[in-house]
Amino acid sequence: MTQSSLTPQVSVAEALKKGSWDIKLSAIIMGFANLANKQFVKGTLFLLSELVFLIAFVSQIIPAIGGLFTLGTQTQGMTTKTIDGIKIQVAVDGDNSMLMLIFGLASLIFCLVFAYIYWCNLKSARNLYLLKQEGQKIPSFKEDFVTLANGRFHMTLMAIPLIGVLLFTILPLIYMICLAFTNFDHNHLPPKSLFDWVGLANFGNILSGRMAGTFFPVFSWTLIWAVFATVTNFFFGIVLALLINTKGLKWKKMWRTIFVITIAVPQFISLLIMRNLLNDEGPLNALLNKIGLIHDPLPFLSDPLWAKFSIIFVNMWIGIPFTMLIATGIIMNLPSEQIEAAEIDGASKFQVFKSITFPQILLIMTPNLIQQFIGNINNFNVIYLLTGGGPTNSEYYQAGTTDLLVTWLYKLTVTAADYNLASVIGILIFTVSAIFSLLAYTRTASYKEGAAK
């Protein structure tokens, strides 16, 4: 649509106040100004939007939003009715708290979408007011449509993905967050039972109540695991890259290929093979026993401490080649003049690594290190496929000794059906990850260099 040169200086409220009667009526009857100025298609679309919203608001949205507050009042059950003098048991359909929560949230989002359309209607009325004030031609629907295919084509392309994000990302995310404030657990499973709002009770239960005895040990191990998994892969990946790129080393391509094979093999296959290999009755214990090194099987996965060390070592086997490849690319592109000048000045290999090689690698790989740390906090595959969170711990609720927060969350949903607690865990994981990522990244040299440009 043709924009007036005065558009930024005139507010919608001012246009409605000073405009003609058709402009004023647009605040009540959507599209009225467009229809009055012969923009029939645009005005009809606005008017239909209002009619659809009003019908939906009365018939669907009001009950849905009411259900969002109550989450249901009628439980499913049986009642006795007398028919022709005979008493019979009749099933009574109850409310479904889960559906009422979803429909209530969807109704709120629908209202927000309508509010945006209503605002577009008011902006359209303002533009008409300004065009008439300046004596400009009022564009037809065809001319407006052309702007959507030309000047505003980027907005047209973004419309469908935005709707998809709204329906399949934002709505489920809000739904998950809302569950953290309900008692939706194994004792309140719809449609048989109703669940209700409980405020911050679940957070209190996790942080200082009955679940604190499980949460804090699992949270501590999650952080320990993330630190060791990230640091070991980073350090040994760099060491391996330096060894492979050592001057005079023969068959460099062969060595790189050998280590990259672990990347080519799907991770879940490697983990399942390692799980069988490290089993108490597995091939490794059988071999050690056969050659007389042990008499009792080593508890690689059945002892809490052994299991944690085993997980870290297996993760090194899987993760080091990735770091090696990245570090190799960086090392091969380092300025050789700096290294040669340092060697001529008498610097040792360690001094060259400390002052030239490592700082350059760290500068480039810091964002990747942050990503790896967050990825390890949420590393479901390694823990679940290798130990399943075990060995079991009777003091924990639905968690084993090697469970991370993310695997505990999985067990709370799939095994225990405690969706409220799982939702709290999900929120806490996101909070920790987001805070760490923001604080760590904004303090990196790569970020400061980018901000200075």
Q: Can you give the three-state secondary structure of 63-117, one letter per residue?
A: HHHHHHHHCCCCCCEEEEEEECCEEEEEEECCCCHHHHHHHHHHHHHHHHHHHHH
Q: Please give the DSSP secondary-structure letter assigned to residue 166.
A: I
Q: Any residues with CB less than 8 A from the CB of 326 and at least 6 apart, and which?
A: 237, 365, 368
Q: Give pLDDT, residue 5.
A: 47
Q: Are residues 179 and 229 in the same domain?
A: no
pLDDT of residue 56: 96
Contacts of 175 (CB under 8 A, 6+ apart): 101, 102, 105
CA 63 to chain centre: 31
Domain boundary among 199, 217, 246: 199
CATH of the domain at 222: 1.10.3720.10
User: Is 225 domain-assigned?
Assistant: yes
Residue 293 sits in the same domain as residue 179: no
Sign of CA dihedral 20, 22, 25, 26: negative
Query: For the chain, how many structural domains are there in total?
Result: 2
Both 161 and 230 in a single domain? no
Q: Are residues 165 and 306 in the same domain?
A: no
pLDDT at site 382: 95
The answer on 442 and 335 residing in a single domain is yes
Task: Please give the pLDDT value at position 2.
Answer: 47
Cβ(218)–Cβ(404) below 8 Å = yes
- 101/190 same-domain check: yes
Within this chain, do residues 366 and 263 fall inside the same structural domain, yes or no? yes
Could you tell me the residue range of the domain that residue 263 belongs to?
204-452
Q: Note the pLDDT of residue 1.
A: 44
Per-residue pLDDT of the chain (453 residues; tens, 9 = 90+): 444 544 456 888 998 888 899 999 999 999 999 999 989 999 999 999 999 999 999 999 999 999 999 999 988 877 777 776 777 777 778 899 999 999 999 999 999 999 999 999 999 999 999 988 888 888 877 777 777 666 666 676 787 888 888 888 899 999 999 999 999 999 999 988 999 999 999 999 999 999 999 999 999 999 999 999 999 999 999 999 998 888 878 888 888 888 888 888 899 999 999 999 999 999 999 999 999 999 999 999 999 999 999 999 999 999 999 999 999 889 888 888 888 888 888 888 889 889 888 988 988 899 899 999 999 999 999 999 999 999 999 999 999 999 999 999 999 999 999 999 999 999 999 999 999 999 998 888 767 766 665
Q: Say how far apart CA 206 and CA 199 lie, in whole Å.
A: 13
